[in-house]
């Protein structure tokens, strides 16, 4: 899952980035409001962690402009502002959740997973498909209580397809959402990961729509 972290406090941004990376998220960090607005308008993020007090353009204005432009990715507000009026204003503007600083990283990760589940139609964890259980908290796949061993990259691909069940996901989209831009990878990296996953979970789980991409069926 690719996350935009909009936070101008460099120390906090690095702590959040490290925690989210350890939880299998791909994190892009930006500090300037105008840049954050542009990236949210033009790039495909699974969710945004948005500080309200940003330089050049405040977070609430950014959120309102995204929603006006029909940019509907989940947005979790991170802010030191704890007045109930500000919470209400942010929720009314289109925020999906609101977390007041200081916060524990465990709570942030849990809330982020929750908004992602809701955005993709899952009421609660874990995610179930084809007899498999994907525990996003422990980053573990199992079937009939028996763990299925996955590498970190295999887990990221499978989790992305599971979260987007019923959608055909292209190789390019998978690449953008599981690899950092500076990560060394081969042109056939996704094909290799899909082939390995199919050996682990069965070819009937991950299907191909030739020329378009991969998918897990909605009712699986």
Write down the residue that tokens 């300037």 correspond to.
32
Based on the domain organization, do 94 and 159 belong to the same domain?
no
Based on the domain organization, do 97 and 198 belong to the same domain?
no
E strands along 137-212, which residues? 140-143, 146-148, 207-209
Helix, strand, coil percentages for the chain (3-state, nearest 5): 40, 20, 40
Dist. CA 74–CA 39, nearest whole Å: 14
pLDDT digits (tens, 9 = 90+) for 142-155: 999 999 999 999 99
Based on the domain organization, do 143 and 170 belong to the same domain?
yes
Based on the domain organization, do 14 and 114 belong to the same domain?
yes
Based on the domain organization, do 162 and 102 belong to the same domain?
no
- Do the beta carbons of residue 117 and residue 126 sit within 8 Å? no
Which band of pLDDT confidence, cut at 50, 70 and 90, is reported for residue 179?
A: confident
The answer on pLDDT for 186 being more than 80 is no
Which band of pLDDT confidence, cut at 50, 70 and 90, is reported for residue 187?
A: low
Based on the domain organization, do 30 and 86 belong to the same domain?
yes
Task: Tell me the mean pLDDT in the region 204-216.
Answer: 93
Cβ contacts of 48 within 8 Å, gap of 6 or more: 3, 4, 5, 6, 40, 73, 74, 75, 76
| CATH assignment of the domain containing 101 | 3.40.50.2300
- Do the beta carbons of residue 64 and residue 39 sit within 8 Å? no
| CATH assignment of the domain containing 172 | 1.10.10.10
CA atoms within 13 A on the CB side of 190: 20
Domain residue limits at 189: 127-215
**pTM (2 d.p.):** 0.85
Cβ contacts of 54 within 8 Å, gap of 6 or more: 6, 8, 31, 32, 33, 36, 62
User: Number of structural domains, the chain?
Assistant: 2
Task: Tell me the mean pLDDT in the region 51-60.
Answer: 93
Dist. CA 81–CA 44, nearest whole Å: 28
Between residues 78 and 220, the one the model is more confident about? 78
Write down the residue that tokens 């503007």 correspond to.
93
Q: Is there a domain that residue 26 lies in? A: yes
Q: Is there a domain that residue 220 lies in? A: no
Which band of pLDDT confidence, cut at 50, 70 and 90, is reported for residue 185?
A: low
The answer on pLDDT for 52 being more than 70 is yes
């Amino acid at each position: 899952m690719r996350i935009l972290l909009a936070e101008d406090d460099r120390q906090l941004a690095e702590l959040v980035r490290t925690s989210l990376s350890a939880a299998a998220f791909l994190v892009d960090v930006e500090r300037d409001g105008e840049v954050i607005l542009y990236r949210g308008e033009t790039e495909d993020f699974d969710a945004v962690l948005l500080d309200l007090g940003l330089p050049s353009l405040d977070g609430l204005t950014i959120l309102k402009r995204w929603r006006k432009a029909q940019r509907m990715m989940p947005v979790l507000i991170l802010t030191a502002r704890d007045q109930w009026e500000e919470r209400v204003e942010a929720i009314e503007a289109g925020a999906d959740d609101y977390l007041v600083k200081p916060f524990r990283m465990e709570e942030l990760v849990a809330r982020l997973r929750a908004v992602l589940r809701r955005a993709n139609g899952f009421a609660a964890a874990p995610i179930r498909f084809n007899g498999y259980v994907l525990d996003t908290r422990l980053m573990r796949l199992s079937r009939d209580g028996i763990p299925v061993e996955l590498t970190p990259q295999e887990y990221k691909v499978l989790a992305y397809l599971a979260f987007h069940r019923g959608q055909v996901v292209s190789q390019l989209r998978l690449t953008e959402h599981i690899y950092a831009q500076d990560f060394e990878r081969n042109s056939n990296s996704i094909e290799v990961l899909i082939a390995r996953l199919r050996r682990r979970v069965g070819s009937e789980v991950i299907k191909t729509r030739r020329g378009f991409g991969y998918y897990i069926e909605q009712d699986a």
